[in-house]
Amino acid sequence: MISVRGVVDRVGPTLLRTVLPGAGDVAVTDVVIAELGRRTHLAAGDLVLGVAVSTTEQAVDLVRHCAEQKVAAVLLKPPLAARTAVRGAARSGGTAVLEVHAGAAWAQLVWLLRAVIDAAEESESDGRLPAGGLGDLFRLADAAASVVDAPVTIEDANSRVIAYSARQDRTDPARVSTIMGRRVPDDVLAKFRSRGVFRQLSRGRTTIFVPQQKDGTLPRLIVPIRMGGELLGSMWAVVPGPVPEERAAAFADAAPVVALHLLRRRARDDAERRRSAELVRSLLDGVGSPRLAIAELDLEDGPHRVVAIDVDTDDVLGAEGARLALWERITAGVGRRPAVADLHDVLYAVVPDRDCDSGWPALRKALTERAGPVKPLVGAGSAMAIGELAVSRAQAEETLGLVRTGLVAGPVASHEEAWPVLALHRVAASAAPGVLDVGPLPLLTRHDEANGTEYVATLYHWLRHPGDPRAAAGVLGIHPNTLRHRMNRIATLAAVELSDPDVRLALLAQLAVKFWR
pLDDT 10s digits, 450-507: 999 999 999 999 998 888 989 999 989 999 999 999 999 998 998 888 888 888 888 8
Of these ranges, 11-15, 35-39, 189-193, 200-204, the one predicted with the greatest mean pLDDT is: 189-193
Tens of pLDDT, residues 291-328: 887 777 777 778 899 999 988 765 544 556 566 666 66
Do residues 257 and 355 share a domain?
A: no
Q: Mark out the alpha helices in 253-373 (DSSP H runs).
A: 255-284, 290-296, 316-332, 360-369
- CA 206-211-217 angle, to 5 degrees, is 120
Number of domains in the chain: 4
- State the pLDDT at residue 130: 38
Beta bridge partners of 210: 220
Distance CA 106, CA 114 (A): 12
- State the pLDDT at residue 62: 93
Of these ranges, 73-82, 250-259, 318-327, the one predicted with the greatest mean pLDDT is: 73-82
- State the pLDDT at residue 373: 55
Last residue of a domain, one of 410, 428, 446: 428
> How far is CA 2 from each of CA 7, 34, 101, 254, rounded to the nearest angstrom?
7, 21, 21, 29
> Of 414, 383, 384, 386, which Cα lies nearest the Cα of 399?
414
Q: How confident is the model at residue 67 (pLDDT cuts 50, 70, 90)?
A: very high
Q: How confident is the model at residue 276 (pLDDT cuts 50, 70, 90)?
A: confident
Q: Is the CA virtual torsion 485, 488, 493, 496 positive or negative? A: positive
Q: How far is CA 128 from the centre of its chain?
A: 25
Distance CA 48, CA 32 (A): 5
Do residues 293 and 410 share a domain?
A: yes
Do residues 349 and 411 share a domain?
A: yes
Residue 240, classed as helix, strand or coil, is coil
CATH of residue 202's domain is 3.30.450.40
Do residues 200 and 80 share a domain?
A: no
- State the pLDDT at residue 287: 84
- Checking if the pLDDT of 60 tops 60, the result is yes
> Which residues, in sequence order, are CB contacts of 188 under 8 Å at separation 6+?
174, 177, 178, 217
Last residue of a domain, one of 263, 297, 322: 263
Do residues 158 and 242 share a domain?
A: yes
495: region left, alpha or beta (phi > 0 left; psi from -120 to 50 alpha): left
CATH of residue 495's domain is 1.10.10.2840
- Checking if the pLDDT of 190 tops 60, the result is yes
Do residues 487 and 414 share a domain?
A: no
| Residue 276 placed within a domain | no
> How far is CA 31 from each of CA 15, 50, 98, 192, 233, rounded to the nearest angstrom?
16, 11, 13, 42, 27
- State the pLDDT at residue 167: 77
- State the pLDDT at residue 446: 93
Tens of pLDDT, residues 45-59: 999 999 889 999 999
| Residue 391 placed within a domain | yes
- For the stretch 134-140, contacts whose Cβ atoms lie closer than 8 Å and that sit 24 or more positions apart, written own/partner, are 134/162, 134/163, 134/265, 136/261, 137/162, 137/163, 137/258, 137/261, 137/265, 138/163, 138/164, 138/165, 140/254, 140/257, 140/258, 140/261
Do residues 317 and 209 share a domain?
A: no
Do residues 423 and 441 share a domain?
A: no
Q: Is the CA virtual torsion 157, 162, 163, 169 positive or negative? A: positive
Q: Name the percent of the chain lying above pLDDT 70.
A: 84
| Residue 279 placed within a domain | no
Mean pLDDT of the region 202-208: 79
Beta bridge partners of 347: 309, 342
- State the pLDDT at residue 297: 77
| Residue 110 placed within a domain | yes
DSSP letter assigned to residue 374:
S
Do residues 390 and 365 share a domain?
A: yes
Do residues 44 and 178 share a domain?
A: no
| Residue 508 placed within a domain | yes
Domain assignment of residue 33, given as a range: 2-126
In this structure, how many other beta carbons lie within 10 angstroms of the beta carbon of residue 15? 23
Do residues 416 and 371 share a domain?
A: yes
Alpha carbon dihedral 510, 512, 515, 517, in 10-degree steps, equals -100
In this structure, how many other beta carbons lie within 10 angstroms of the beta carbon of residue 211? 11
CATH of residue 10's domain is 3.40.1390.20
Tens of pLDDT, residues 105-122: 776 677 667 767 766 665
The answer to whether 382 and 368 have CB atoms below 8 angstroms apart is no
The answer to whether 160 and 181 have CB atoms below 8 angstroms apart is no
- State the pLDDT at residue 317: 44
Residue 346, classed as helix, strand or coil, is strand
* Helix (H) / strand (E) containing 143: helix 134-148
Q: How far is CA 131 from the centre of its chain?
A: 22
Do residues 289 and 259 share a domain?
A: no
As a whole number, the mean pLDDT across the chain is 82
Tens of pLDDT, residues 364-421: 887 776 545 557 899 999 999 888 999 999 999 999 998 988 878 878 999 998 888 8
| Residue 269 placed within a domain | no
Last residue of a domain, one of 79, 106, 126: 126
CATH of residue 364's domain is 3.30.70.270
Residue 165, classed as helix, strand or coil, is coil
- Checking if the pLDDT of 18 tops 50, the result is yes
Tens of pLDDT, residues 125-150: 444 333 344 456 777 888 888 888 89
